Amino acid sequence: MSGQVVVGTQWGDEGKGKIVDVLAEKADMIVRFQGGDNAGHTVIVNGKKYVLHLLPSGVLRQDAPCIIGPGVVCNPFVLLEEMATLEAGGLKCDHIIISDRAQILMPYHRYQDKLEEEAAANKIGTTQRGIGPCYADKYARRGIRYHEFIDFDHFKTKLKEVLDFKNKLFTSVYGAEPMDYDTMVKDFEKIYDRIVPMIKETTHIVNDALDANKTVLFEGAQAAMLDINYGTYPYVTSSSPTSAGVTTGAGVAPSRIDTVVGVVKAYSTRVGEGPFVTELLDEQGEWIRKTGGEYGATTGRPRRCGWLDLLVVNHAKMMNGLTDIVLTKIDVLTGLEEIKVCVGYEIDGKVYNYIPSDQAEVAKAKPVYKTLPGWSEDISKMETVDQLPKNCIDYVKFIEDFTGVRISMISVGPDRINNIYVHEIK
């Protein structure tokens, strides 16, 4: 039995999609456990690019069942669009299963997200995919789950009830137009026959697979610093993108998790608002953005860029219990004379080796850097550690020593095949 988890360790966009696709080759089942179509994962297979939002990145491996777990907020219209794109490209999608406990992300959630962001004095910079409002409704117990869609009459009654409530909010608080019930019902009627066959009770499917010694890969979206409890609150997403999220979001016990793989990008990026201690607002940051192609896959926004922050990685290590690190995009740093790595925060004259909870404190922090020498050799086609330039090996080793977590794989390019395997991920 092997329960493997892949999580982001920074602010998202570490290359999780690519790494999940690589690890999924040996998985018997892939399960997403949180988030929704706020995610944007780019996977490149033999030069062909796939951009996935809601579908697990493991979907490209066509044999393993691919589950949208109970903890996901799933917009069925986006799901069908993504499936149509894959099918048009010759891939099959009959291995996709939606948990009957997953929340239906409704059209009014997107609308609410947009209205809230527009009205907020303190903007979060959300992806405006309706994620926050959908999770808020879930916890307020007015969410609609997939099993409630099967009986369409029940679904219509519940929709009426919730939409009446939402329309009061839209019109009286935001002064916005109400949403039309009949149009919404018609839109859902159109997708009924395609969605309903995909809805299943998934917790038994997943636990039975683990019982049968199968390898189940739990695929995280977003990342530790966007975690609702342990991220840079309130500049976070509304789910738990850590290994703990797997237990509630996929319906498995903590003891079933064997391996937790943290994906670490060799530098930092962040999309949306919130403190970012190592952010580079100068030409160096612009150079990283251009060289690394750091533009959001979901919103197209330029990503904020900065040096690697090892306090962030250590925070993710602690919150996730990382057993392995996969280091990505180190090829992007090629050509720099020197590379900085943050090893402490100085706040009002005091040096911290951990991240304080109060974001107002973090916003004041000055990074304490260790400077390492760079390299100029093209490493993007290298296949073994000993081919790497010495300074590049030293950079990897520095991260490994500082975090105390072994680096099991080094990704040196965006394609499925651009990897250096160091230790087997079990």
- Any idea which residues carry the catalytic annotation? 13, 41
Residues in the chain: 426
- Record the tokens describing residue 55, joined without a space: 């579908």
How would you class 173 by CB atoms within 10 Å of its CB: exposed for 0-12, middle for 13-18, buried for 19 or more? exposed
Q: Which of 316, 222, 234, 327 is nearest to 273 (CA)?
A: 234
Number of residues that bind Mg ion (CB under 5 A): 2
Looking at 6, 7, 8, 416, which residue binds ligand GDP (CB under 6 A)? 8
Find which of ligand GDP, Mg ion, ligand IMO, none residue 38 binds, CB within 5 to 8 Å per kind. Answer: ligand IMO
Tell the residue number behind the tokens 């237990």, with chain if given.
247
Find which of ligand GDP, ligand IMO, Mg ion, none residue 222 binds, CB within 5 to 8 Å per kind. Answer: ligand IMO
- Record the tokens describing residue 224, joined without a space: 């530790």
Mark 13-42 with x for binding to Mg ion (rule: CB under 5 A) and - for no binding: x--------------------------x--
**Shortest CB 231 distance to ligand IMO, Å:** 9
**Shortest CB 301 distance to ligand IMO, Å:** 7
Find which of Mg ion, ligand IMO, ligand GDP, none residue 126 binds, CB within 5 to 8 Å per kind. Answer: ligand IMO
**Quick one: 13 or 227, whose CB is closer to ligand GDP?**
13
CB atoms within 10 A of CB 323: 20
Judged by CB under 6 A, the stretch of 34-42, 175-183, 365-373, 374-382 that binds ligand IMO is 34-42
Mark 324-343 with x for binding to ligand GDP (rule: CB under 6 A) and - for no binding: ----xx-xx-----------
Tell the residue number behind the tokens 């073994």, with chain if given.
384
Residues near 90 by Cβ (< 8 Å), separated by ≥ 6?
Answer: none
- Record the tokens describing residue 178, joined without a space: 């109400």
Looking at 52, 210, 221, 264, which residue binds ligand IMO (CB under 6 A)? 221
Q: Are 384 and 368 in contact (CB under 8 A)?
A: no
How would you class 238 by CB atoms within 10 Å of its CB: exposed for 0-12, middle for 13-18, buried for 19 or more? buried
Chain residues that interact with ligand GDP, rule: CB under 6 A = 8, 12-18, 40-42, 44, 293, 297, 328-329, 331-332, 411-414
